[in-house]
Amino acid sequence: MAKMWAGRFQKETDAVVNDFNSSVTFDSRMYREDIEGSLAHAAMLARQCIISSEDCRAITEGLAGVRADLDAGKIDLSPEAYEDIHMAVEEVLTERIGDAGKRLHTARSRNDQVALDMRLYTRKEILTIRALVLEFMRVLVQKAKENLHTVMPGYTHLQRAQPITFAHHLMAYCNMLRRDVTRLNDCLERMDECPLGSGALAGTTYPIDRAFTAERLGFNAPMDNSLDGVADRDYCIELCAALSVLMLHLSRLSEEVVAWCSWEFKFVELDDAYSTGSSIMPQKKNPDVCELIRGKTGRVYGSLTALLTLMKGLPLAYNKDMQEDKEAVFDAVDNVKMCLRVFAPMFETMTVLPENMKKAAYRGFINATDCADYLTKKGVPFRDAYKATGTLVARCIELGTTLDALPIEEYRAVSDVFEEDVYHAIDLNVCVAERRSLGGPAPEEVSRQITKIEGFIEHEA
Ligand code: ARG
């Protein structure tokens, strides 16, 4: 097909260049946004008497038809036919309605058009991702509620450290995800400005009404500088940064689930529907879902790095390099959505094995701090108490036993402050229940954390 710019040229575009230059294979996913923007633009042009109301009606009806045919997959969107989605919509429209279609691009450029489409698209996707994160938080909260009393070791350096509960552990992730939701909110708020009407870069001599289109398209305001309007991709970068942190959180949890369902831990068992087998080892049940989430995290970071690198050397305003923003954002968005959609039901159907968590808790001397605290509460300076407990732990290792089973004579040989009530003080359930400090693992304290997060989810949903 002859190019829209053919008048200026004496030769046709080289076929390889045509493919290279075209973005329709991937930007066609924004056709609804493109049409929405054109509808608002046409309405504004008519309102300002820049085009006639008859032309506006023809454009409006024509675009509805194009949208219906695109919905039905009736329009061939190959690079041979169209360069990008913006040209495709305009050309199809013009084929159908003639001159009115040719008037649509008055006082507009593809530069402000693509800037608008990307904003409309990312805004929609952010809302979807937010909802998926909130849904996943609901799953975590539910599991936390069922495991308020499920004692497990908390770790530092992947060494058993102090007693916590599974609920406490999950609520840590809920708080990370809460911040992820607020990061997405911030991104939405900052990108809530409309670039339409920036023109190619320098605005227009037509008496356009940018406030009208901004409002009609659901933006807070028009962007205040036309060069910025077409050159800015901050919001894409900000979105990919927010998604990278979100993926980082999903990846850490994935890593933990991988560990937890290994025979070394066996804290959880994944549902068959969410695990995979091995082609050679009949005994295997693999946490592929978690591993893929961990892997795809790298991909989302890749999008962020690509965008940062893409934009860093570009002079104002539009440069074709910026066409590369789309696949980076699309890939990040697609992968994050997929990860959340598979992770939530995987987590929901996962069986928690409290007995195994408890067994691990009993084996790691994770009540040693509580043993030292016992002495401290009886007046022994903490450093002396710490040393005495260290001696007891060494003695336990020597005897192949635990602090809970070590005879009282052994305790008294180290410090005569020890009495029978030490066994109560170092009982794991007591150790957890007594950790009532704000943010701690005591069941009533974790319940408070849960109530707070539930309030957040309700507020944001
Ligand atoms: N397909 C282009 C993109 O995605 C649309 C903008 C084209 N503008 C231009 N001046 N060539 O960036």
Q: What is the pLDDT of residue 270?
A: 95
Q: What is the CATH number of the domain that holds 47?
A: 1.10.275.10
Atom of ligand 1 nearest to the CA of 23: 1
Asked whether the beta carbons of 444 and 165 are under 8 A apart, the reply is: no
Using a 10 angstrom Cβ sphere, with 0-12 exposed, 13-18 middle and 19 or more buried, the burial of residue 279 is: exposed
Query: Alpha-carbon Rg of the chain, whole angstroms?
Result: 31
Confidence of residue 17 (pLDDT cuts 50, 70, 90): very high
Asked whether the beta carbons of 198 and 153 are under 8 A apart, the reply is: no
Asked whether the beta carbons of 233 and 313 are under 8 A apart, the reply is: no
CA of 320 to the centre of ligand 1 (A): 6
Q: What is the pLDDT of residue 88?
A: 97
Asked whether the beta carbons of 372 and 165 are under 8 A apart, the reply is: no
Mutate to test the pocket of ligand 1, among 30, 110, 321 (most ligand atoms within 8 A of CB): 110
How far apart (Å, rounded) are the C-alpha atoms in residues 136 and 144? 12
Residue 217 lies in a domain: no
Residue 237 lies in a domain: yes
Q: Are residues 288 and 394 in the same domain?
A: no
Q: Are residues 228 and 140 in the same domain?
A: yes
Q: Are residues 425 and 288 in the same domain?
A: no
- Tens of pLDDT, residue by residue over 157-191, are 999 999 999 999 999 999 999 999 999 999 999 99
Using a 10 angstrom Cβ sphere, with 0-12 exposed, 13-18 middle and 19 or more buried, the burial of residue 145 is: middle
Asked whether the beta carbons of 143 and 352 are under 8 A apart, the reply is: yes
Q: What is the pLDDT of residue 281?
A: 79
Confidence of residue 1 (pLDDT cuts 50, 70, 90): low
Q: What is the pLDDT of residue 5?
A: 76
Give the domain-ending residue among 359, 393, 410: 359
The CA–CA distances, whole Å, from 412 to 52, 103, 119 equal: 98, 94, 70
In this prediction, residues 409-420 reach a mean pLDDT of 96
User: Which residues are registered as beta bridge partners of 159?
Assistant: 156
Q: What is the pLDDT of residue 280?
A: 75
- In order, the DSSP letters of 290-336 are HHHHHHHHHHHHHHHHHHHHHHTTPPSS--GGGGGHHHHHHHHHHHH
Token look-up 């990860």 returns 339
Confidence of residue 363 (pLDDT cuts 50, 70, 90): confident
3-class secondary structure, 234: helix
Q: What is the pLDDT of residue 26?
A: 97
Q: Are residues 190 and 234 in the same domain?
A: yes
Q: Are residues 234 and 141 in the same domain?
A: yes
Q: Indicate the range of 19-28, 57-66, 252-261, 358-367 predicted with least confidence.
A: 358-367
Q: What is the pLDDT of residue 130?
A: 98
CA of 93 to the centre of ligand 1 (A): 19
Q: Whose CA is nearest to atom 10 of ligand 1?
A: 111
Q: Are residues 89 and 229 in the same domain?
A: no
Q: Whose CA is nearest to atom 12 of ligand 1?
A: 323
Q: Which amino acid is at 336?
A: V
Q: Are residues 62 and 123 in the same domain?
A: no
Q: Are residues 19 and 49 in the same domain?
A: yes
CA of 129 to the centre of ligand 1 (A): 27
Residue 242 lies in a domain: yes
Mutate to test the pocket of ligand 1, among 20, 111, 196, 325 (most ligand atoms within 8 A of CB): 111
Q: Give the residue numbers marked as catalytic.
A: 157, 278
In this prediction, residues 16-33 reach a mean pLDDT of 96
Q: What is the pLDDT of residue 91?
A: 97
| Domain span holding position 87 | 14-106
Question: Among residues 375, 398, 396, 401, which one has the least CA distance to residue 387?
Answer: 375
Residue 46 lies in a domain: yes
Q: Are residues 62 and 117 in the same domain?
A: no
Percent residues over pLDDT 70 in the chain: 100
Residue 459 lies in a domain: no
Confidence of residue 282 (pLDDT cuts 50, 70, 90): confident
- How, if at all, do strands 268-269 and 221-222 pair? unpaired
Q: Are residues 323 and 437 in the same domain?
A: no
Q: Are residues 263 and 332 in the same domain?
A: yes
Q: Which residue has the higher pLDDT, 280 or 212?
A: 212
- In order, the DSSP letters of 423-451 are HHHT-HHHHHHH--STT---HHHHHHHHH
Q: What is the CATH number of the domain that holds 442?
A: 1.10.40.30
Residue 454 lies in a domain: no
Torsion of CA 440, 443, 445, 451, to 10 degrees: 130
Token look-up 């598979």 returns 342
Residue 63 lies in a domain: yes
Rounded to two decimals, the pTM is: 0.94
- In order, the DSSP letters of 33-71 are HHHHHHHHHHHHHHHTTSS-HHHHHHHHHHHHHHHHHHH
Asked whether the beta carbons of 197 and 210 are under 8 A apart, the reply is: yes
Token look-up 């944001």 returns 460
Atom of ligand 1 nearest to the CA of 326: 4
Q: Whose CA is nearest to atom 4 of ligand 1?
A: 323
Atom of ligand 1 nearest to the CA of 322: 12
CA of 110 to the centre of ligand 1 (A): 6
The number of domains in the chain is: 3
Residues touching ligand 1 (Cβ under 6 Å) are: 23, 27, 84, 86, 110-111, 114, 318, 320, 322-323
Using a 10 angstrom Cβ sphere, with 0-12 exposed, 13-18 middle and 19 or more buried, the burial of residue 363 is: exposed
Q: Whose CA is nearest to atom 2 of ligand 1?
A: 323
Mutate to test the pocket of ligand 1, among 19, 25, 84 (most ligand atoms within 8 A of CB): 84
- Tens of pLDDT, residue by residue over 115-145, are 999 999 999 999 999 999 999 999 999 999 9
Q: What is the CATH number of the domain that holds 307?
A: 1.20.200.10
Residue 210 pLDDT > 80, yes or no?
yes
Q: Are residues 126 and 81 in the same domain?
A: no
Residue 458 lies in a domain: no
